[in-house]
Structure 1
Amino acid sequence: MMNFSEHLCFKTYAASRYIIGLYKPFLDEISLTYPQYLVMVVLWENGSMNISKIGEFLHLDNGTLTPLLKRMEKNGLLTRVRSSADERKILVSLTEEGTALKEKASHIPEAVQNCIGISSTKNAQLLSVLDELLSIQTTK
């Protein structure tokens, strides 16, 4: 049997918790949780989109996203509007406040990368392996 420390599930879980923890002080400065930050990054990069498309980017279902988006709307960061063409679809858009937050958050990726302290080569390798793993998930 494999040792506990050799289990992929443990290593990925522990690494994920570590990295998310590194984001916390930076996100506290701009009053965002980590999941909210991920939503904001998707919207900053892609503009308005429906909830299911956001879910595709973040690998989250509508049941997880809806309460998160409601809180973000209540905090004035985004709006949710039902499509007139298809009432089942809800278009999510950034407010002025949400758009302005992009500048305040622009330093976060580099700051977290500096905290991790691995070389850009190792970072690229890690991203490549994770992309490969995620692509397997989306094809099943």
Structure 2
Amino acid sequence: MDGLSNYLERIQSAFQITLQKMQPKMVESMNENGVTPTQFYVLIYLWKQGSCKISELAEYMGVKPSAVTFMIDRLEQNNFVVREHDKKDRRVVNISLSTEGQEKLNTVIHARKVIAEKFLSYLSEDELAQFALIAEKLAEATTKEN
């Protein structure tokens, strides 16, 4: 177990240093595109879900619906999302990405990818393949933990 502890310390230290360098560049990139990190999080969720209600988004984010309503108002003002009344129950309002919101999300994702590629360019092809396998294995392990 001592070996695991040593590896864990090395991994945590390396990730902390890497994230301290990458995070500000990611945030700056989002800001340049007129999107806050929280808005990016919401846009990604809407992209994955297709559409959702305010209450679903609030539950996912662990915040009150009023906070999400305020955020959706801002995203709607920027034409990133649209509100639509449910066809079966007009009292229900669904939120989804607008065409402009999808385009903005694609732009931000591309900018983030460029930043990540810059950091990953320090790895060889073999190291990238190993890193991808390890990341996939860890992702698989997290699904088993739930």
The TM tier, using the shorter chain, reads 0.5 to 0.7
Structure 2 partner of 1:105: 108
Confirm or deny that 1:72 pairs with 2:103.
no
Return the offset for 1:78. Answer: 0.8
Which aligned pairs between 1:1-140 and structure 2 lie closer than 5 A? 6=9, 19-51=22-54, 53-54=56-57, 59-63=60-64, 66=68, 67-83=70-86, 85=89, 87=91, 89-117=92-120, 119-121=127-129, 122-130=131-139, 132-133=141-142, 136=145, 139=146
Q: Which AA in structure 2 matches 1:133?
A: T
- Give, in angstroms, the shift of residue 32 of structure 1: 0.6
Native 8 Å contact 1:78 1:95 kept in 2 = yes
> RMSD across aligned C-alpha pairs, in angstroms?
4.0
Question: Structure 1: which amino acid aligns with 2:89?
Answer: A
Measure, in 2, the Cα distance between the counterparts of 1:35 and 1:55.
12
* Deviations 1:71-96 (CA, angstroms, capped at 9, x unpaired): 21232211234545274x54111223
1:15 deviation in Å? 6.5
Amino acid corresponding to residue 110 of structure 1 in structure 2: K
Q: Deviations over 1:83-130 (max 9, x none)?
A: 45274x541112232133244335234213214325433144235425
Whether contact under 8 Å (1:52, 1:61) holds in the other structure is no
TM-score by length of 1: 0.61
- What amino acid does structure 2 have at the position aligned with 1:43? L
Q: Which residue identity is paired with 1:105?
A: V
Cα distance change of structure 1 residues 85 and 26 upon mapping to structure 2, 3 Å threshold: same
Paired residues in the alignment total: 132
Q: Is the 8 A contact 1:48 1:94 kept in 2?
A: yes
